[in-house]
């Protein structure tokens, strides 16, 4: 009995390896990356996979997507051939436009996970209360998504509400998507990024493990649904509608 109790936590940790092992096996059954197929010149296989991803797309749309992907792969291959890894690393740190993008991307990820907003929530969640934090910060998420929808709408008016490579967009609207992302990330990290993971407090001791497991499974199930649906929504939903729908979903 004592031995079983000593091993119990090891079983809990070890079981976490099971999903990883299953995923490792399933990797061998995944179709090849579209970019790899195009890079190898196997455009027919790329077309077949693209048809599976965009099941409701017309043949013309599939051909157009593969054509765009082929052009991107060609550009990437040319860049790789004419530059070294060291030159590209130098470029991301010392070319202004790349450095700004790096600072924004890394900064947002850091702020969300490790720094200001999450630390604020961790410090004050017991002082302010879970419900109050949610009530106060959800409007910030709604505002951030709504502002993103509006800014993308006016930013892309000349290109039929789509971002087109090589197009010069007005600087007056370009800063708003970044501002809206910061507002959303700050609000999310303070509330929905933190409070739901206090879910163990909702359940009594005898059902805490099961309840927490089911709640976490629901989180990943919703994540899976969004990722599976995203490919189908892409042809019909531009950024305006996507951020607008997400904003509506956050409204209590």
CATH label of the domain that carries residue 189: 1.20.1250.20
Rounded to an integer, what distance in angstroms lies between the CA atom of residue 155 and that of residue 177?
Answer: 9
Q: What is the pLDDT along the chain (252 residues), one digit of tens a residue?
A: 444 556 666 776 777 788 888 989 998 888 788 888 988 888 889 999 889 888 888 899 889 989 988 988 888 888 888 888 888 888 888 888 788 778 876 766 666 555 566 677 777 777 888 888 888 888 888 898 888 888 888 887 777 767 666 677 777 777 888 888 888 888 888 888 777 877 777 666 556 667 777 788 887 887 777 766 655 555 444 444 555 555 454 444
- Residue 70 resides in a domain: yes
pLDDT for res 230: 59
Cα distances (angstroms) measured from residue 170 to each of 94, 158, 181: 25, 10, 18
Cα–Cα–Cα angle for 158, 164, 169, nearest 5°? 50
Cα distances (angstroms) measured from residue 32 to each of 28, 224, 249: 10, 20, 34
- Residue 165 resides in a domain: yes
pLDDT for res 30: 82
- Whether the predicted model's global pTM rises above the 0.85 cut: no
241 and 126 together in one domain: yes
- Residue 52 resides in a domain: yes
Q: How many residues does the chain have?
A: 252
- Residue 21 resides in a domain: no
169 and 232 together in one domain: yes
Name the residue range of residue 71's domain.
Answer: 29-82
- Residue 68 resides in a domain: yes
Q: Number of folded domains in the chain? A: 2
216 and 156 together in one domain: yes
The number of C-alpha atoms within 13 Å of 123 and in the hemisphere containing its C-beta is: 7
194 and 246 together in one domain: yes
Rounded to an integer, what distance in angstroms lies between the CA atom of residue 144 and that of residue 149?
Answer: 9
Q: Are 61 and 235 in contact (CB under 8 A)?
A: yes
41 and 149 together in one domain: no
Kindly report the number of other CB atoms within 10 A of residue 112's CB atom: 17
128 and 199 together in one domain: yes
33 and 156 together in one domain: no
220 and 119 together in one domain: yes
């Amino acid at each position: 009995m004592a031995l079983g109790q000593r091993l119990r936590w090891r079983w809990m940790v070890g079981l976490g390896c099971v999903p990883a092992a299953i995923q490792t096996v399933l990797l061998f059954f995944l179709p090849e990356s579209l970019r790899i197929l195009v890079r190898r010149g196997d455009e027919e296989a790329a077309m077949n996979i693209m048809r599976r991803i965009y099941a409701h797309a017309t043949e013309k749309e599939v051909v157009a997507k593969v054509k765009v992907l082929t052009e991107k792969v060609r550009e990437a291959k040319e860049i790789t051939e004419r530059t070294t890894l060291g030159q590209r690393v130098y470029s991301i740190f010392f070319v202004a436009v790349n450095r700004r993008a790096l600072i924004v991307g890394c900064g947002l990820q850091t702020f969300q996970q490790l720094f200001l907003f999450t630390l604020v929530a961790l410090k004050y969640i017991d002082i302010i209360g879970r419900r109050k934090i949610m009530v106060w910060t959800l409007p910030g998420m709604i505002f951030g998504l709504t502002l993103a929808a509006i800014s993308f709408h006016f930013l892309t008016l000349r290109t039929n509400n789509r971002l087109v490579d090589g197009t010069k967009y007005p600087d007056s609207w370009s800063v708003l998507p970044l501002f809206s992302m910061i507002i959303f990330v700050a609000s999310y990290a303070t509330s929905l990024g933190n409070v739901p993971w206090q879910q163990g407090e909702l359940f009594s001791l005898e059902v805490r493990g099961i309840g927490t497991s089911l709640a976490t499974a629901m989180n990943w199930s919703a994540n899976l649904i969004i990722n599976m649906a995203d490919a189908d929504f892409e042809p019909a939903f531009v950024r305006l509608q996507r951020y607008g729908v997400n904003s509506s979903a956050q409204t209590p």
